[in-house]
Structures are given as C-alpha cells and as structure tokens.
Amino acid sequence: MKKINLLVMSLVSAAALSFSSCSSDNDLGGGASGGNSQVDGFYMTLAIQTPTSNGTRTSIIDPTEDATAEEAAVKNGTFYLVDANGAVVFSKTLTDRDWSGAIKDPATPAKDGKTILQIQVENVAAGATYKVYFKAGSKDMDTVEPFTITTGASKTGIFTANGIAQTFTVDETFTHPCDKGNDFSMFNQNDVTTNGNGYTVTFEDGNKVETNPATVEYNGAINAPIKIERVTARVDVPTSIGGTLTGTYPENASQALKNAIDDAKKKVAKIELVGYALSNITNKTYVMQTWNTADNPWKLTIPTDATLSKTKAEFGDKYLFKDGGFKTLEDATNDYIFENNKEKEDEATAMYFKYKVTLDANKFTVDGTEAGEKMPADYPDNAKTKNGGTFYRYNNVIYTSFAQIKKAYADVAGLFEGKTAEDMKTALDAAIDDETKLAAFRKKYQIEVFKGGLTYYKQIIKDKQLSKNVIQRNTIYRLNVNKIFNIGAQVPNGEIDKNGLFYLDVTVSVNPWVLNTQDIPLGN
C-alpha cells in the first residue's frame, strides 16, 4: 500500500485527561461500595487522552492550533467494552466531569497529567479480551439508544471488528448536535497513526480485586491512554486583505486578463469582504473516522446515505442570484461540519465570498481622462439611491452607466437590440428588484450587472494532508484571501473562469486541532 500524505503525520504527545481517581461505583455514578473486597465483577483502569494544543492528528507541514475552552472541555462520556462477536457487553456513562487538554485562553489553566480512572465492570469473562472505546459528549449515537447490553451474541450495526458503523445525523438546516460548547462529541482516533480498534483489555481472576485492576493495552503497551478526537471539522470565519485590488498579474496571464486587471485596478477605489457562505455540507458522519483501506492510497469514507445541504444549486446559476445562506462578518462565528469525501467541484465543500466594490467616480468621464467631464452613474453609490453602487461589466470593461457603454460602442450598430441608454436603464429598473427578471436581463443582453456593487468568488476547500478536495474531522480549515487581482462574478455561480479573467488567491493552512489555512488570490 502506497503511503500518502497522511502517513507523514506524527503524533505529538498530548496532555492526558485530568480526572479525579475513583475507587467506588458511587464516584462513578454506580452503587457498589469501595474498599479492597472481592466482587462478582472485575475492576479495570481507563485513561483518556483528549485533543490538546498539539491535537491528536499532527502534521509536520504546519503548526497546530489550540482549541478554545468550549472546544476542549469534556464533561460527559461513555466507554464501551466490545466482545469478539462485536457485541457491547458493558458500557458506563460518566457525567458531571471536567477534563480537557490545553486551550487558547491563558486565563483558564490547562488540565494536564493523567489520573487513573478505576471502573467496576460486569458481564465480562475471565481470560477474554475486549476492545475498548470511549465517546465523549452527551450526544447519543443514532439508532442505538439506549444501548442494550448483550452477552455472547453479535449486535449488528453497533461495533464491528473493522470499525464503528454508527453515525451522527443532522437535519437539512444543519443543526449542531455534536459541537455544543463544553460538550463536543469525540471518539477513538482512527487513522494511519492510530488504530481506533486497537485498544483492548483482558480480564483475569485476579482483577476481581480492586487493588489489582485490569489495564488497557495498545500495541503491547500497558495503561495506554485512549486517544480521542472531535467528530467535526471546524471552518473559521475567513480573513481577507483589505482596501484595493492587489498584486501583479497572475502567472501566465493572457493579454485579455492583463487588460481586464488594468481596467479594474484603475476604477476600483475599495473592495472589502462583507460576507461568506459554506456550500456542500454533509448531514451524516461515522462515529469513528472510517477509511477504505483497499484503495491505494487510503480513501476517506462517509456513510453511503449521507446527503449534502447548501448545494451549488441553492446559490443560483450563472445569471441568477440565490442567497444560499450568506453570513455577514459582523455576526459570523466559526462553523463545525461533518466530513465530506466528495471531490468533484459540484459536490466538494466550498466557500463563497461576498465583496462590496466601491468605484472611483472620477474614472468615468466623457473623454476618459480624470479632468474630463464626468459621466454620472445610473445608480450612484449612496444611501439615497435604491440599489446604489450597481455597476456593469461588458466585454471585461467596467462601466457605471449604459450611456458610457453606448459611447464606447458608438460605431456598433444594433447594440443591445438597438435600445438607447435610457431604454436599457428603464428595462433594468423594472427587473433589478426581482432576481429572476434580473437573471433574464443579464442573459438576454449578455451583460454583467453587479447589483448593489456586490461581487462573488468561490473556493473549494482542499485538505493539504490528503491533497484532495475533502473535509476530515478534528481539522481546522482557515481561508485567508491574500490577493485580489480582479472583480469577481456578478452572482455566486457566475462564469468567473469563462475567459480566465477572475482570479482568487487563497491560502489554506492544515493543522491539527488540525488547521487548514488557504490563502487565495481573487480576480483572475
């Protein structure tokens, strides 16, 4: 099997959970007494290693990202013992606990170190080996609530020798059951570096004594802490270089591109990020990260019945604007989403950027000089004008009025079906407040209309570790716009690549939490 980028990841030691040592079931939510007495069941110890500032899945390419206090805290959790038949023979839920890894907030001390959690278990047999799993968070696994303890019989669809078949599911509006503050869902880490099914415990008769508990093993190591990770990925609020169009020409720029960029840079006074939206969000994920190991390299898998919300169609077509769920920067917060392994452009998770363009009115004159007579805009960029700031782009040149276009094409007969500038403005006035009519206007006259001075860009999110257009769990994706070469599309799904004229320069960094930062140039 060919090694992939994932194989370069090396585990960084993370702080283990801080947990009060318990010797009785009362401490653990049960009812048996403590002491050194022999009982019908067995004792075992359990240690959980939560994702810390070093994360669980690490990359030698990029640094890690500290979690927030709400992302790191674990208050509740359930551990499971699974027999050779895949049956859950014992489970125990722990509530009202408080442990976490290192966090961003220096005012909140990190809880480091490892404290042994001692648990009394039942329904296990001496000499038998059981797999050990731990799910942090109060969210139950779908379709298996409540768990039924069975002995000696397979329980289809819960745990298997090859992995976890259970899933988490959200509705079409993408509620957030797995990323509540101080209650993030986490489960056994499972990737090339760590085998989520590799934690085992074997009970012997001597483990019926409290002072001689059985211990969890992993690859021959005893007292091995179970590494867990968040089941969601995090997509941060994007950042953008502000002010004006920046940068030189993109590499291998055509002359048409250079001309379009020169025109935009001359006429754009300011361009600023005002909103963004995520597209193609998966509604279902496996409880434990799952891979198709038959592929070379390994392929991240998601439930076959998973569906996508906020699809490309929800943002319109190349002429039509649909909102699709844009957020303003003022009230935006980071998003937590499930894994997505769909790599095709129309299905890969992507981010739409919404920018407000302010043009320099002094650049639109009768003779083309700044000292010349000004040609007023059809929709002046001010609060008093409805749809103020609307401008046009025709044949890759920016205009603020149909009169300017008619002057530039004075020698072209039949432009816009022979309609005058006044006729075109009247027709646009009748359509501009109805997105369907506005789309028809754009299509009919093959002119770009930037309503309210807004322009859009789209960037597919790529995971650097996998070198694919995928989203994987416990990973931060941060998109940073570092160059804006040109004005983007008139609508989110506009044909921004039609003539290679719009270019988006985004940097995506990929770190454990995991962080992915994507720097993007806009406008080619």
Q: Which of 488, 160, 461, 172 is nearest to 325 (CA)?
A: 172
How far is it, in rounded angstroms, from Cα 25 to Cα 118? 9
Cα 329 to the chain's mean position, in Å?
17
pLDDT at 97: 64
Q: Is 36 exposed, middle or buried (0-12, 13-18, 19+ CB in 10 A)?
A: exposed
Instruction: Locate 173 and state its tokens.
Output: 């509006």
Do you find a cis peptide bond into 250, omega within 30 degrees of 0?
Answer: no
SS3 421: helix
How far is it, in rounded angstroms, from Cα 212 to Cα 200? 17
**Which residues of the chain fall below pLDDT 70?**
1-40, 52-66, 97-116, 142-166, 171-175, 247, 296, 496-504, 507-524
**Cβ–Cβ contacts within 10 Å for residue 492, how many?**
30
How far is it, in rounded angstroms, from Cα 386 to Cα 393? 20
**Cβ–Cβ contacts within 10 Å for residue 260, how many?**
26
Q: Which amino acid is at 7?
A: L
pLDDT at 58: 39
CA distances in angstroms from 360 to 189, 279, 366, 370, 371, listed in the order given: 54, 33, 15, 10, 13
Q: Which of 379, 403, 383 is nearest to 391 (CA)?
A: 379
How far is it, in rounded angstroms, from Cα 150 to Cα 73? 31
Q: Is 371 exposed, middle or buried (0-12, 13-18, 19+ CB in 10 A)?
A: exposed
How far is it, in rounded angstroms, from Cα 402 to Cα 500? 25
pLDDT at 234: 92
Q: Phi and psi dihedrals of 415, rounded to 5?
A: -60, 135
How far is it, in rounded angstroms, from Cα 28 to Cα 151? 23
Instruction: Locate 274 and state its tokens.
Output: 């005002």
Q: Which of 22, 21, 166 is nearest to 80 (CA)?
A: 166
How far is it, in rounded angstroms, from Cα 287 to Cα 83? 19
Do you find a cis peptide bond into 297, omega within 30 degrees of 0?
Answer: yes
Question: Are 521 and 480 contacting, i.e. CB atoms less than 8 angstroms apart?
Answer: no
Q: Phi and psi dihedrals of 90, rounded to 5?
A: -160, 140
How far is it, in rounded angstroms, from Cα 234 to Cα 228? 16
pLDDT at 1: 35
How far is it, in rounded angstroms, from Cα 59 to Cα 453? 41
pLDDT at 303: 85
How far is it, in rounded angstroms, from Cα 484 to Cα 479? 14
Question: Are 224 and 218 contacting, i.e. CB atoms less than 8 angstroms apart?
Answer: yes
pLDDT at 11: 28
Do you find a cis peptide bond into 146, omega within 30 degrees of 0?
Answer: yes
pLDDT at 376: 94
Tens of pLDDT, residue by residue over 465-482, are 888 999 999 998 999 998
pLDDT at 183: 86
pLDDT at 170: 73
How far is it, in rounded angstroms, from Cα 396 to Cα 264? 9
Instruction: Characterize 390-417 residue by residue with b for buried, 16 or more Cβ atoms within 10 angstroms of its Cβ, and e for exposed.
Output: bbbbbebebbbbbbbbbeeeeeeeebbe
Q: What's the full length of the chain, in residues?
A: 524
Instruction: Locate 398 and state its tokens.
Output: 């920016």
Specify the residue for token string 């001359």.
Answer: 266
How far is it, in rounded angstroms, from Cα 338 to Cα 33? 42
How far is it, in rounded angstroms, from Cα 467 to Cα 252? 24
Beta-bridged to residue 180, according to DSSP, are: 183
How far is it, in rounded angstroms, from Cα 138 to Cα 474? 18
How far is it, in rounded angstroms, from Cα 375 to Cα 369? 11
Q: Which of 96, 97, 79 is nearest to 147 (CA)?
A: 79
Instruction: Locate 394 and state its tokens.
Output: 């025709």
